[in-house]
Chains A and B, each alone.
Chain A
């Protein structure tokens, strides 16, 4: 199997970057449609042995990155058309947005498909730099501030992550240029101090990229200021991708240090993220900031599942997918609300969404009901698996603490949402007609929220279990 067979779908976004740069702006939406078809088509190529992802986990995350990348391209058309009305976007600005979006989608796919740890770091850097550009694309003061903080915090962390990656790979006796992510077989020279230092630096670096507390400070601002398709990709794909790379590195390092050590670091970051989300979620005045803090919660849950091991890993991988669907739906509709109610400013006075914009309000209600973990929606099952993983691995107190935090977040979201969705008193809300081009992608996501969360792992159960098996820890003790 050649390297090209592992990664060739990356040629789709790469070609799109070049074509988009030279194509007149009026044809960009046609190009978008063509790229969406090619991206989604690439997911079926393993059926005919035309594309061989390096392992099941790579394929699982490639599906996530590709599907949500395609949604971002679809939703960007109508959404950016609306945004360019509030801000005078010239054709150059519009073109730069699409080029940066293609780079972002391509780098997210690269985070799934590349099989070299240094190249994975580079892919994560490319995702960060392109998304920093996208976050500030509205060019307002608040967007600039958010992008600056995002750049400073995550790049400082990213450079620590580079050293962590190098130390772990060297300390576990691997070749830095190797095209493989799994630990080498047979006797390997190990350097425990080097791996210990590497684990610490990687946790800071990739933790900052993933928005895990206490490195989450950039996340609420960046998510709330970015255009809605970018917020959704950041929340649903990039954060999870950074955690999965970190966990791959920890799995590698578990041969050199006692296995519980990287486990515990993930558990610590995970529970801290839940505490931060529980503390702040109820006080958010802006819909997008609310979902940003919810992202801190869910990335913390994914870290907890990976840290618990066993069935928790299965739950964490399922949660990557279910959280991605729900958060994409929620950010798209929060973006639509922002577009049609208050322009780019905050949303404290918005209310009566179910009355004024029934489709957007209804889809928001559906997404919110699902994301808080109510049955029968898919996030309930993935969270259930994660928590069962905690009990199965003997982390009873930590699991109880996580449940309490989830209840607090549930309370916070259910306290806030009715204020946006309902109309207080007798006041009638004027109807706002949002275009079908904005509603349609959200409706497809709504269908996915209802049936797609569990359908995908149900369709490919072997791949799902193999992906989870890759992240099982082996201890040296």
Chain B
């Protein structure tokens, strides 16, 4: 397979996992999808390291694998076991509507990506579409576990896009960005447990106006 095709397939997989994450109904499925997306990011970094001869990106791929594919889900599991059996609340927004919006923002992402020059414009465009879908999830969902995974997934897509734009990543910021992901996971874990104990619910709308 050519370099272009491999990269397009990889980022398309990231788009697919991100779209499915909007639709999943429980915490466990969201965790699996997050892990799959983290693995996809690690694969993307490995391919970039290979195609661009950037040895530093191998370190990034290893970090992503360690921190995001294994570390973050493990941290999250320790706090989110309380919502393990919960299913999402009924949403007034239907699944079909969510998918229509997903397609619309993906097209918009493509248009944004086409305006920016650089390495692999189509791959960039797919990732911009994925980024907007991940952002859309932050607005769409209300359950605490869903928002938590949405934010962590948004971080994966954002850092993948940042690396693709740069096609290298200075090591110190790279490590620190991964530390931010861990920091977010730790806080989200604590809140999921604390909020669940306070409200006995997974729907944060019951906790008042939590959405900005």
Q: Which residues of A contact B (CB under 8 A)?
A: 116, 118-119, 121-122, 125-126, 129, 132-133, 136, 139, 141, 144-145, 147-149, 151-153, 155-156, 159-160, 162-163, 166-167, 170, 176-177, 191, 193-194, 197, 215, 217-218
Report yes or no: B170 in contact with A118, Cβ–Cβ below 8 A: yes
Using Cβ atoms and an 8 Å threshold, which residues of chain A touch B211? 149, 152
Using Cβ atoms and an 8 Å threshold, which residues of chain A touch B179? 122
Using Cβ atoms and an 8 Å threshold, which residues of chain B touch A125? 180, 183
Report yes or no: A122 in contact with B180, Cβ–Cβ below 8 A: yes
- Asked if B16 lies at the interface with its beta carbon under 8 angstroms from chain A, I say no
Main secondary structure of the interface of B (DSSP, over half): helix
Report yes or no: B212 in contact with A149, Cβ–Cβ below 8 A: yes
Cβ-neighbour of A148 out of B112, B173, B176, B204 (below 8 A): B204
1/0 contact trace for B180-210 toward A, CB 8 Å? 1001100110010011001100001001111
Report yes or no: A141 in contact with B207, Cβ–Cβ below 8 A: yes
CA gap between A116 and B170 in the complex, in Å: 11
**What's the count of A-B pairs with C-beta under 8 Å?**
105
Q: Which residues of B contact A (CB under 8 A)?
A: 112, 115-118, 131, 135, 138, 144, 147, 151, 154-155, 158-159, 161-162, 165-166, 169-170, 172-173, 176-177, 179-180, 183-184, 187-188, 191, 194-195, 198-199, 204, 207-212
Report yes or no: B198 in contact with A141, Cβ–Cβ below 8 A: yes
Using Cβ atoms and an 8 Å threshold, which residues of chain A touch B183? 125-126, 129
Cβ-neighbour of A144 out of B135, B151, B195 (below 8 A): B195
Residue of A nearest to B212 (CB): A217
Q: A159-B155, A166-B166 are in contact. List 19 more A-B contacts (CB 8 A).
A: A119-B173, A119-B176, A125-B180, A129-B183, A136-B194, A139-B194, A141-B207, A149-B209, A151-B151, A151-B191, A152-B212, A155-B184, A156-B138, A159-B154, A160-B158, A162-B159, A163-B165, A170-B166, A176-B170
CB distance from B37 to the nearest CB of A (A): 14
CB distance from B202 to the nearest CB of A (A): 13
CA gap between A217 and B183 in the complex, in Å: 23
Using Cβ atoms and an 8 Å threshold, which residues of chain B touch A136? 191, 194
Using Cβ atoms and an 8 Å threshold, which residues of chain B touch A144? 191, 194-195, 198, 207
Asked if A218 meets B212 with Cβ closer than 8 Å, knowing A148-B204, A155-B184, the reply is yes
CA gap between A116 and B171 in the complex, in Å: 13
Cβ-neighbour of A129 out of B154, B187, B208 (below 8 A): B187
Report yes or no: A194 in contact with B116, Cβ–Cβ below 8 A: yes
Residue of B nearest to A121 (CB): B173
Using Cβ atoms and an 8 Å threshold, which residues of chain B touch A116? 173
Residue of A nearest to B152 (CB): A155
Using Cβ atoms and an 8 Å threshold, which residues of chain B touch A167? 116, 165
CA gap between A176 and B204 in the complex, in Å: 39
Cβ-neighbour of A156 out of B135, B159, B162 (below 8 A): B135
Using Cβ atoms and an 8 Å threshold, which residues of chain B touch A163? 131, 158, 161-162, 165
The 3 closest A-B pairs by CB, nearest first: A217-B212, A118-B173, A153-B212
Using Cβ atoms and an 8 Å threshold, which residues of chain A touch B162? 162-163, 166
CA gap between A162 and B180 in the complex, in Å: 12
CA gap between A116 and B152 in the complex, in Å: 25
Asked if A149 meets B165 with Cβ closer than 8 Å, knowing A144-B195, A155-B151, A194-B116, the reply is no
Report yes or no: A151 in contact with B187, Cβ–Cβ below 8 A: yes
Using Cβ atoms and an 8 Å threshold, which residues of chain B touch A170? 165-166
CA gap between A10 and B58 in the complex, in Å: 31
Using Cβ atoms and an 8 Å threshold, which residues of chain A touch B210? 145, 148-149, 152
CB distance from B112 to the nearest CB of A (A): 7
CB distance from A172 to the nearest CB of B (A): 13
Residue of B nearest to A154 (CB): B212
Report yes or no: B187 in contact with A132, Cβ–Cβ below 8 A: yes
Pairs A–B under 8 Å by Cβ, sample size 14: A118-B170, A121-B173, A126-B183, A145-B207, A147-B191, A159-B154, A159-B158, A160-B135, A162-B159, A162-B162, A163-B165, A177-B170, A194-B118, A218-B212
Report yes or no: A197 in contact with B115, Cβ–Cβ below 8 A: yes
CA gap between A460 and B212 in the complex, in Å: 41
Residue of B nearest to A196 (CB): B115
Using Cβ atoms and an 8 Å threshold, which residues of chain B touch A194? 116-118
Residue of B nearest to A169 (CB): B166
CA gap between A166 and B163 in the complex, in Å: 9
CB distance from B159 to the nearest CB of A (A): 8
Using Cβ atoms and an 8 Å threshold, which residues of chain B touch A149? 209-212
CB distance from B52 to the nearest CB of A (A): 15
CA gap between A121 and B165 in the complex, in Å: 17
Using Cβ atoms and an 8 Å threshold, which residues of chain A touch B166? 166, 170, 176
Asked if A166 meets B198 with Cβ closer than 8 Å, knowing A122-B176, A194-B116, A194-B117, the reply is no
Using Cβ atoms and an 8 Å threshold, which residues of chain A touch B138? 152, 156
Cβ-neighbour of B151 out of A147, A156, A162, A166 (below 8 A): A156
Residue of B nearest to A216 (CB): B212
CA gap between A116 and B172 in the complex, in Å: 11
Report yes or no: A122 in contact with B173, Cβ–Cβ below 8 A: yes
Residue of A nearest to B188 (CB): A151
Using Cβ atoms and an 8 Å threshold, which residues of chain B touch A122? 173, 176-177, 179-180
Using Cβ atoms and an 8 Å threshold, which residues of chain A touch B144? 148
Report yes or no: B154 in contact with A156, Cβ–Cβ below 8 A: yes
Cβ-neighbour of B180 out of A129, A151, A191, A193 (below 8 A): A129
CA gap between A224 and B208 in the complex, in Å: 16
CA gap between A218 and B212 in the complex, in Å: 6
Using Cβ atoms and an 8 Å threshold, which residues of chain A touch B199? 141
CA gap between A218 and B211 in the complex, in Å: 9
CB distance from B146 to the nearest CB of A (A): 11
CB distance from A207 to the nearest CB of B (A): 12
Using Cβ atoms and an 8 Å threshold, which residues of chain A touch B172? 119
CB distance from A423 to the nearest CB of B (A): 33
Report yes or no: A148 in contact with B191, Cβ–Cβ below 8 A: yes
